[in-house]
């Protein structure tokens, strides 16, 4: 799949891993839609960064937990760039609570954004991605580690991994691959929030490589899956975590 003329949607791309993915895909030749929910200034900053290096990008607001907004996201992308070839489902939330302390509202919100949002975007992509397309979901190594206080988050991402495997089979004959990337501890605001310096240091020491991942580490794996050299990788969960699990 040559990236010339190809279009990628990256959900939750205004900061963190999503921002790194959007800028790297743009540098590789994709026209990129920087999706955001509530941070237009940050999203426009990503667009300007891409434009400053000669890339093409547009910021489009949409809440992925709402099907009608996802439909609008895909329609607007097609209007601006002519179609969609790659979907990166990066939008997500994380709040640490034990299962006993997790409110119904927090559980429902986590599932709504992380799992239902991914489902909504995958459904839209299944109807509109062009031949040779790619769907890349973001999961988490927490699914493998099953650490305390990550119950709602891990449950939402376990569902994402299963959807990934199922849809890879459902798109038989379409020449579209569906994979997921499961980062380990990565130095982003989402990871740091709610953790003490001691907890962060403990996570830093967990991988044999003895460091936290950086957003660019994850973006490089996503860029591989989005590119022409990954055509024989399908239905897989790639744990980009420095060897933790």
- In this structure, is residue 243 part of a structural domain? no
Catalytic residue (choose from 30, 74, 153, 191): 153
Residue 133 pLDDT > 80: yes
Whether the Cβ atoms of residue 140 and residue 183 lie closer than 8 Å to each other: yes
User: Distance (Å, rounded) from C-alpha 34 to C-alpha 24?
Assistant: 12
Structure tokens at 172: 């038989």
Mean of the per-residue pLDDT values of the chain? 96
195 versus 54: the higher-pLDDT residue is 54
The three-class DSSP label of residue 64 is coil
Structure tokens at 88: 């990166």
Residue with tokens 């967990």: 206
Total domains in the fold of the chain: 1
Residue 83 pLDDT > 70: yes
User: Distance (Å, rounded) from C-alpha 18 to C-alpha 91?
Assistant: 8
Residue 200: predicted pLDDT:
92
Residue among 75, 237, 85 nearest 175 (CA) = 85
Residue 70 pLDDT > 80: yes
Q: In percent, how much of the chain has pLDDT > 70?
A: 99
Give the single-character DSSP code of 150.
B
Residue 105 pLDDT > 60: yes
Residue with tokens 């299963």: 162
Residue 2: predicted pLDDT:
62
Q: How many CB atoms lie within 10 A of CB 165?
A: 16
Residue 4: predicted pLDDT:
77
Residue 136 pLDDT > 90: yes
Cα distances from 240 to residues 135, 218, 243, in angstroms, run 17, 7, 8
Range of the domain at 135: 7-238
Whether the Cβ atoms of residue 187 and residue 17 lie closer than 8 Å to each other: no
* 153 catalytic residue (yes or no): yes
Residue 165: predicted pLDDT:
98
| CATH number for the domain harbouring residue 47 | 3.40.50.720
Distant-in-sequence, close-in-space partners of 142: CB < 8 Å, separation ≥ 6: 150, 153, 154, 157
Reported pTM: 0.95
Residue 198: predicted pLDDT:
92
- In this structure, is residue 17 part of a structural domain? yes
Residue 235 pLDDT > 90: yes
User: Distance (Å, rounded) from C-alpha 136 to C-alpha 229?
Assistant: 15
User: Distance (Å, rounded) from C-alpha 65 to C-alpha 17?
Assistant: 19
pLDDT digits (tens, 9 = 90+) for 2-43: 677 899 999 999 999 999 999 999 999 999 999 999 999 999
- In this structure, is residue 244 part of a structural domain? no
């Amino acid at each position: 799949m040559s990236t010339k003329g190809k279009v990628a949607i990256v959900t939750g791309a205004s900061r963190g891993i999503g921002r790194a993915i959007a800028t790297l895909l743009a540098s590789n030749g994709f026209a990129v839609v920087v999706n955001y929910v509530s941070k237009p200034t940050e999203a426009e900053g990503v667009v300007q960064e891409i434009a400053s290096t000669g890339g093409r990008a547009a910021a489009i607001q949409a809440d992925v937990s709402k099907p009608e907004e996802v439909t609008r996201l895909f329609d607007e992308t097609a209007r601006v760039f002519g179609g969609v070839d790659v979907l990166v489902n990066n939008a997500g939330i994380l709040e640490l609570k034990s299962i006993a302390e997790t409110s119904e509202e927090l559980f429902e919100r986590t599932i709504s954004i992380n799992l239902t949002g991914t489902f909504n975007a995958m459904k839209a992509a299944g109807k509109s991605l062009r031949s040779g397309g790619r769907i890349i979901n973001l999961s988490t190594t927490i699914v493998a580690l099953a650490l305390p206080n990550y119950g709602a988050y891990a449950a939402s991402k376990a569902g994402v991994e299963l959807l990934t495997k199922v849809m890879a089979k459902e798109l038989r004959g379409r020449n579209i691959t569906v994979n997921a990337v499961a980062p380990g501890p990565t130095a982003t605001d989402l990871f740091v929030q709610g953790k003490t310096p001691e907890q962060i240091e403990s996570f830093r020491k967990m991988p044999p490589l003895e460091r936290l991942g950086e957003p660019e580490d994850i973006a490089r794996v996503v860029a591989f899956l989005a590119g022409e050299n990954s055509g024989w990788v399908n239905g897989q969960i790639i744990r980009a975590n420095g060897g933790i699990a």
